[in-house]
Amino acid sequence: MLIEESYRKIFEENSKWVKKKKTEDPDFFNHLANGQNPDYLYIGCSDSRVHANEIMGLQPGEVFVHRNIANMVVNSDLNILSVINYAVEYLHVKYIIVCGHYDCGGIKAAMEPKDLGILNPWLRNVRDVYRLHEKELDAIEDTKERYNRLVELNVYEQCLNVIKTAEVQKSFLANGYPRVAGWVYGLNDGILRDLKINFKEELNHIRKIYDLTKGE
């Protein structure tokens, strides 16, 4: 299909989708226009093959989504920090999920000995994760397996980065939420795997050094 045709088709598909939704529930859009009340914040990779709502089986309005290359939670990224702030303080989400995926191009690119221009500083954060877990990763001989383990460890470290924020620490201590979870999605089998990060244990550990619960 020509790209012009494919582009036009998006609007045709949209009209069909609107009709279908209205048939299923005449109040569908009125309901959504009244506001959002999602229980989940999903932080995932921009990869076109990993679609948050679809893999979680959730409808519009049920998950607040942030995506970037390699699902990073970077300390100086105003974008992700604003998303976390809004999700915690205004939407009162119950879970913050960091979802990586096996065969992630961002993770692979980060491990290439190559100058990637503006991507260098972004992917540097992935290299830092490698350095933190160097022993474990170096012991894995198969390159693909090593990258996939790096995907899991990257998710784990990004979960810790979420837990390092004042919003998450303060809200959890006051309200018992949000909890932080780490998942990895398999592109080749469609399966979501929960890394079963022990949130309370990690929070206590993080607070030893990164405690931001005092003040205000």
Q: Which of 186, 204, 208 is nearest to 195 (CA)?
A: 186
Is 49 among the residues known to form the active site?
yes
Active-site annotation holds for 127: no
167 lies in the site for Co ion, by CB under 5 A: no
For residues 179 and 141, what is the distance between their CA atoms, to the nearest angstrom?
34
CB environment 33-47: b (16+ within 10 A), e (fewer): eeeeebebbbbbbeb
Site string for Co ion, 20-49 (x = CB under 5 A): -------------------------x-x--
Is residue 99 annotated as a catalytic residue, yes or no? Answer: no
Sequence-ordered list of residues with C-beta below 8 angstroms from that of 165, at least 6 positions apart, any chain: 81, 84, 85, 212
- Rounded CA separation 107/203 (Å): 26
Residue 184 within binding range of Co ion, rule CB under 5 A: no
- Token pair listed for 165: 């924020």
Cβ proximity to Co ion: between 146 and 170 the closer is: 146
Q: Find, among 170, 158, 137, the residue nearest to 45 by Cα.
A: 158
Residue 110 touches Co ion, criterion: CB under 5 A: no
The conformation of residue 199, written as its DSSP 8-state character, comes to H
Whether 101 is catalytic: yes
Q: Does 104 bind Co ion (CB under 5 A)?
A: yes
Q: How far is the CB of 103 from Co ion (least distance, A)?
A: 8
Question: In whole angstroms, how close is the CB of 33 to Co ion at the nearest point?
Answer: 33
The residue (of 63 and 104) whose beta carbon lies closer to Co ion is 104
Q: Which are the catalytic amino acids?
A: 45, 47, 49, 101, 104
Q: Which residues bind Co ion (CB under 5 A)?
A: 45, 47, 104, 106
